[in-house]
Amino acid sequence: MPKLHQYDYIFGIALVFAGLDAYNIGANDVANSFATSVASRSLTMRQACVLAAIFEFLGAVLVGAKVTNTIKNGIITLSLFRGNYGIEMLAFTCALVTSATWLMIATKNSWPVSTTYSLVAALAGVGVAVGGPAGVQWGWNGGKGLATIFAGFGIAPAISAGFASTIYLITKYAVLDRKDSTRKAMYLSPIYFFTVIAVLTMSIVYKGSPGLKLDKLSSTTQAIAICMTAFVVALLSIVFWLPYVYAKVIRKDWSLRWWHMALGPLLWKRPVPEMPADMSTPVGPDYRVYGRDDAEAEHDHDAPALNSEAPVAETAIAVADSHSNTSNEKVKDIEAGQVETNAPPAPRASVPLEEVENKDEIVGSWILPRNLLILGKRAIKAVTKGSNYDVHAHQMKDEKTAAHLREIHKLAHQYDNDTEHLYTYLQVLTACVNSFAHGANDVSNAVGPLSAIYFIWSEGKKLEASTPTPTWVLVFGGAWIVIGLATYGYNIMSALGNRLTLHSPSRGFSMQFGASLCVLLASQYGIPVSSTMCLAGATMGVGLCSGGVKAVNWKAFGWIILGWVLTVPVAGTAAGCLLGLFINAPHW
């Protein structure tokens, strides 16, 4: 039972705004984990939302506690509250209110800002309001002060860019630029699987969790667990994944479905059924559609992928012959009466025209069964809008912007489509790693202050450096992060991805894996870094290696950096002023 009932209202307000803060973290920050996968067409928005729901939640609940303590106890000098529980709770509540409000404004305007810096600046602001400049840990403070956190402003993008560039250059020269690149990618894929799984296992083992206590194991046991887990997954990829992609990409088995992967070695010799005559689409999507006109992309979507190395003249002749043959066949079919003309079909007499036009309109009382069904459909459509949003269409809806992006994308070479398809699986793995790391690192932005408030309110004593974070608080924050992505994440996702530089599965894999390495490294040492900065740095590094300086949209990067810079003074000043008004307000 809570001991400070007189502050129930403060706890209630903090709970609401902690949920809102977590919601906006999901809407603003989680897009960073999956923006590259959606931009390169490796995942649909719906698939990204489902995977994020799983890995964000697991990261927040399993390994989020350590970084939460850093945010909660490392920024403000706790002694400055002098045992005043009400002021202590109010200070953390004001920080949450300010951070959540600023993030909502930024998300509404499609500004991908740093949610970490928003909360850190707000905490610094309330610290100054209570105790002046001395109330904030401005220095290094054993790796927990503001100096450590703000050092990430330059360090995180640079380290991420270095990791991502290295991964992409290895991929480029070992696979993409090689003859028969698809087979080269298949040969090296077990190494990629081993590395990615090893990083994910390290994040779980090294950080551990209160229930599993994996971080208490000996160094030898940890090393064996990491290597064996990665080895088993790499072996499974050889047994099940390689035969599947061989049949799908090399043998062009159009009948394969994802569950056929369970057949494993049987797929090496599985007969390929004859493709139906009316089926002309390629086995997989075309990942080389950016940088070309919409008409060209539409033609390529309906026709087999052309070799990206084919001479322009030969490609033009092939397309012209295809159009000519198609036109002649249509003329013959029309003359034979086998193809209908473009005349509009006659309406069906059995369905009244009024019913067709008004089938989704409310007629009469809203409580009627038909109207309740319509309202239910509208509600479902509104809730699922984020998971069905077409990010690519939104990025290209402005013709001026679309023309500018096409010029940027043309500078980056587009590699063999089959080879790129292989990297979609690796990109999904790295997206999940990145999402797991984000849940572990950034859930602290919302639940750190909330756990402090809850401890004071429920225990009736001052906050201590070793205050535990309840599991329900981590679950609460993780759940709202997932809801934020699913319902509003598209607003930020449309501002990233291909708007910054050309994305493809191989590039996206390098970006995400480089960023995840940086985030997990920081999370291991308890340093809260911004995943926005990590992914932005990784995107910039891969863009420079991919097409040079002009292959990067520096104007878009400039707006992102401006958002980072503005976050600190806006959130800090607003939080400090808000707490100052409450503390010094006149009263009866």
DSSP secondary structure letters along 316-347: HHHHHHHHHHHHHHHHHHHHTT-S--SPPPPP
Ramachandran assignment for 212, one of left (phi > 0), alpha (psi -120 to 50 degrees), beta (any other)? alpha
* Residue 143 confidence (pLDDT): 62
**Residue partners of 216: CB distance under 8 A and separation at least 6:** 208
Question: What are 505-522's pLDDT values in tens digits?
Answer: 999 999 988 887 887 777
Q: What is the pTM of this model?
A: 0.77
DSSP state of 270: P
Q: CA nearest 416: which of 169, 183, 241? A: 183
Contact 24, 103 (CB under 8 A): yes
* Residue 302 domain-assigned (yes or no): no
**Nearest 5°: CA angle at 196, between 289 and 240?**
80
The structure tokens listed for 250 are 């090399």
10-residue mean pLDDT series, the chain (588 residues): 81 94 87 80 86 84 64 69 84 93 89 84 89 78 71 82 93 91 91 88 65 71 89 94 91 86 90 77 65 47 38 38 44 43 43 49 74 80 72 74 84 87 88 76 79 87 73 87 86 82 90 82 69 86 90 87 86 93 84
Give the chain's domain count.
1
Contact 460, 3 (CB under 8 A): yes
Q: Provide the residue type at 345 as one letter.
A: P
* Residue 330 domain-assigned (yes or no): no
* Residue 137 domain-assigned (yes or no): yes
* Residue 130 domain-assigned (yes or no): yes
**Residue partners of 520: CB distance under 8 A and separation at least 6:** 199, 202, 203, 433, 437, 440
* Residue 14 domain-assigned (yes or no): yes
* Residue 466 confidence (pLDDT): 63
Determine the structural domain holding residue 59 and report its residue range: 5-177+422-584
* Residue 572 domain-assigned (yes or no): yes
* Residue 570 domain-assigned (yes or no): yes
* Residue 528 domain-assigned (yes or no): yes
- Give dist(CA 7, CA 250) in Å, integer: 66
* Residue 93 confidence (pLDDT): 94
Question: What are 332-382's pLDDT values in tens digits?
Answer: 443 444 444 444 444 444 444 344 445 667 777 777 777 788 888 877 777
- Which of helix, strand or coil describes residue 447? helix
